[in-house]
Structures are given as C-alpha cells and as structure tokens.
Chains A and B, each alone.
Chain A
C-alpha cells in the first residue's frame, strides 16, 4: 500500500471508530503502530498528562521493554515533556550530540540505537493533554509532509480521548440524574406515609420528616428510605413539627 493510501485508510479507520463504541487504548495503539508503518520512524508512543501534571505512556507501537522504558524516561525529561508543556512540537535531532538538556534519556536512547525524537502535542483548543512521540534510528528531522501527517494523527488521537472522556462523563451525569430523581421519589413516598399515618397534609409531613432527620443527625434521603421500606415506622411522626421561630 502506498504511503498516502495508508495514511488515508488510517484516518478513515480512526474516524469510523470514533462513531462506534471503541476502546481508547486500542485506538491509540493502532495509531502508534500505523505511525511506524507510515513514517520513517522506529517506534511511536502516545502519552497523556495526569491531573498531577505527570505524563505517562498510554499506548505504544512496540512492547519491547527497551523502547517502553525510553518512552517512560521521556515522560520525565525529553522532547516529550517540552512538547507537553509548550503545546508545540519539540524535536531532538541527534541525541548523541544534544545530550545536555536530557542526559539520562539521551544516553539510554543512543545505547538502544535511537538517535532522534519528534514529539507532537495532543492539542484541543488551548489545552495540551499529551503527546505523540516518534523515535528514529537516524539523526536528523522527519520530512515536513511526514510531520504534517503525524500532527493529523495526533489531532485524531486528541479527539478520540476527549470523546471517550465525554462519554464517561455523560454516563456519570445520567447516573446522578437517575439517582437524584429516585431519592426525591422516595422522599415523596415517605411524605405520603407520614401524611396518612399522622392525618396531616404533605407540607406538615415533610416538616416532620426533616425535623426528625435533623434532630437525629440522619440524612433526609436515608430516613425517607427507612420510612418507605418499613424499617422506620410512619407512626413515629405523630407529634407535630416545631414551628419555625419568627
């Protein structure tokens, strides 16, 4: 397959997977592997920033321990960190020579036969969430066309991660909605039981429920649940509520 055909089919595949259910790590691993096939690089990895600000490898093209270690090292020092912090591409053209800024990383990389690194930011509007890191066995820079295509891969990776997070958020908020509604329903049911048992209206029933909860340091929702399931008798609310002081 020609390089451009590979690029196009990769982008289409990635775009398709964004629409269906997808596993974000699987997607990013695919993206890393395709980067190695499409560009003149030996290995590729996607890193993400944690809330602490620490970067960590989430997917890589090669699971050879040596390469993973190198990518992880990059998370502490290297073009990867620079790219993440600046939100711009970062590059080390010859690690055998440019070893001043990243002594540990450069030394280990050269030992492993890797001479240059490109790091592209995963950017969404003003925020950088991680990087796509590409390592090569020869010194020098990637061709501009490769860099542009690699940035496109990085952009798709960003969208995939953000979509995934949005989906997780949607489910969490929906759960909260259902839970809130359910709690409210139980409180209304408890009001009904108290209103009937004590012969009062719903407003008074609610006052009695609230006052009892407060007096006994119980959560309103928990007391309501106990009244509804019968473990706390509705008859216990026979006494009038204390009117609020004016």
Chain B
C-alpha cells in the first residue's frame, strides 16, 4: 500500500493505540466523512460492530444487522468497495428496506469497504456523509488503506485474547447485540421451535413493525413482549 497514505493513517492512530472505538474515529477523520462504523460479518451476515462514531453510524449498522442488506453487507459479499453518493435520490432497487430509514436517520451518502487481510475476510468499514456526494480518488484510496489497517488492528486485538474467547477490548467497545440471541432463546422456548427459527420470527416481527431487531429483543428480555401471546395477525 502506498507508504505516505499508510504513514498518515498510522500517525492519526498515534499513541492512543488501535482500540476499537479509536479505529472508527480515525477512519472518519482519515477519509473525510461525517461518521464511520466497523462491521464484522460471517457467512455474509452482520454479526456485530467493533465501533461506531455516532448515532447515525450506529443506526446504519443496526439497520444492516436487522435487515441483512446495505453497503457493508454488499461490500463484504462482493469483496470490493460499494458506493452510494446520493442515498435520498436512490430508487427502491438497491436496498429497498435500508434506504428510507437510513435517510431518515441523516445519512445522505454511504460507502462500504471490505476489511480483509490476505485471505482473511473480517467484514466491512461503513462510511457515511450527512450531505450527498461521492468520495474523491484520494479519499477512496485512503479508505482502502484504512480498511486494511482496521482489519489488521482487529486481528491484532484478537491475537491478545485467551483461547476460545473474544478479545476484551473488542467485546468492551463493540456492539454484538447479545440481547437478540437471549431473546431468540426465550422465543424458542415460548413457541417450542429452534433458536434459528426464533431468530427468523424476531426478524419478521421487527420488519413488520419498522423496529430494529435489538429493540424487539429488549422487549422480549424485559418480558413486555411474549411471542406465545400474540393475536392471529401478529405471528
């Protein structure tokens, strides 16, 4: 990778180290966008976020986690950068469920860059702007370098973990929505179905109600929402 870009980015990371949240702050600053998020994906679906810089980034990650569609999902699956410089002007074809809520949250341009090191595919870097507009060639090149630096940093953090565990730094600063899995366990008992099927039911309920998976899950865990007490049209 071009040495000057790398040196600039490493300079921004500085002595603060590459702990999770710092990675996203540096990504936004290095590329020159409003905010950033770093998403981990497995088998083409989001499994969590290492960091997000603000509420809009968090919402962009949440939407992709709930809906399984969006710039990071595409970038990871396709193995290349995905750019949408004008989200509000986008028709329904690209990301039918993601686009409206993302625009409502304040995103006007979104970009996804796959985070890979050698053959290791970790996920993708989410970048957004609160104004429409694409990335310049320079910004695009910076984003490519940043994505690789972020991937290496995450692997470096994980390499410090004890066997079989998530690295403490990744877990403490990341968002893995464990509540969704707790809720899936509860729903699987309520309906006598598999946990996998319970996740599908949770997702369908969230989608129908325009809520995130995490919101619905929080209600289930708080016991204010039970899946075995729903009316006919609410399954």
Contact = CB atoms under 8 A, between A and B. Distances in A.
B170 to A, nearest CB: 8
Interface in A164-214: 166-168, 170-171, 173-174, 176-185, 188-197, 202
A103 interface: no
A65 to B, nearest CB: 35
B182 A189 contact: yes
A167 B181 CA distance: 32
B185 A196 contact: yes
Contact of A174 (B120, B161, B167, B178): B120
B122 to A, nearest CB: 6
B166 A177 contact: yes
Interface in B35-69: 40, 42, 47-48
Contacts of A184: 165-166, 176, 178
Contacts of B221: 192, 195, 202
Contact of A228 (B118, B167, B176, B195): B195
A188 to B, nearest CB: 4
B181 A185 contact: yes
Interface string B148-168: 000110110011010111110
B194 A230 contact: yes
Given A173-B155, A195-B182, 4 more contacts: A21-B119, A181-B166, A193-B186, A195-B186
Given A173-B155, A181-B48, A192 B118 contact: no
Nearest to B183: A192
Contacts of A189: 181-182, 184-185, 188, 195
A182 B186 CA distance: 18
A196 B186 contact: yes
A218 B32 CA distance: 50
A166 B188 contact: no
Chain A interface helix/strand/loop/mixed: helix
Contacts of B154: 177
B171 to A, nearest CB: 8
B172 interface: no
Q: Which of B117, B163, B181 lies at the interface centre, i.e. has the most chain A CB atoms within 10 A of its CB?
A: B181
B189 interface: yes
Contacts of B42: 178, 181-182
Interface of B: 40, 42, 47-48, 117-122, 151-152, 154-155, 158-159, 161, 163-167, 170, 176, 178, 181-190, 194-195, 221
Contacts of A234: 189
B185 A188 contact: yes
Contacts of A190: 185
A237 to B, nearest CB: 11
Contacts of B117: 166-167, 170, 174
Given A173-B159, A181-B48, A191 B176 contact: no
Nearest to B155: A173
A176 B161 contact: yes
A221 interface: yes
Given A189-B195, A193-B189, A228-B185, A176 B158 contact: yes
A174 B155 contact: yes
Contacts of A180: 158, 161, 164-166
Contacts of A192: 181-189, 195, 221
A21 B181 CA distance: 37
Interface centre among B117, B151, B182 (most CB of A within 10 A): B182
A182 to B, nearest CB: 8
A178 B41 CA distance: 9
A196 B189 contact: yes
Contacts of A173: 120, 155, 158-159
A134 B163 CA distance: 43
A177 B122 contact: yes
B159 A167 contact: no
A178 to B, nearest CB: 5
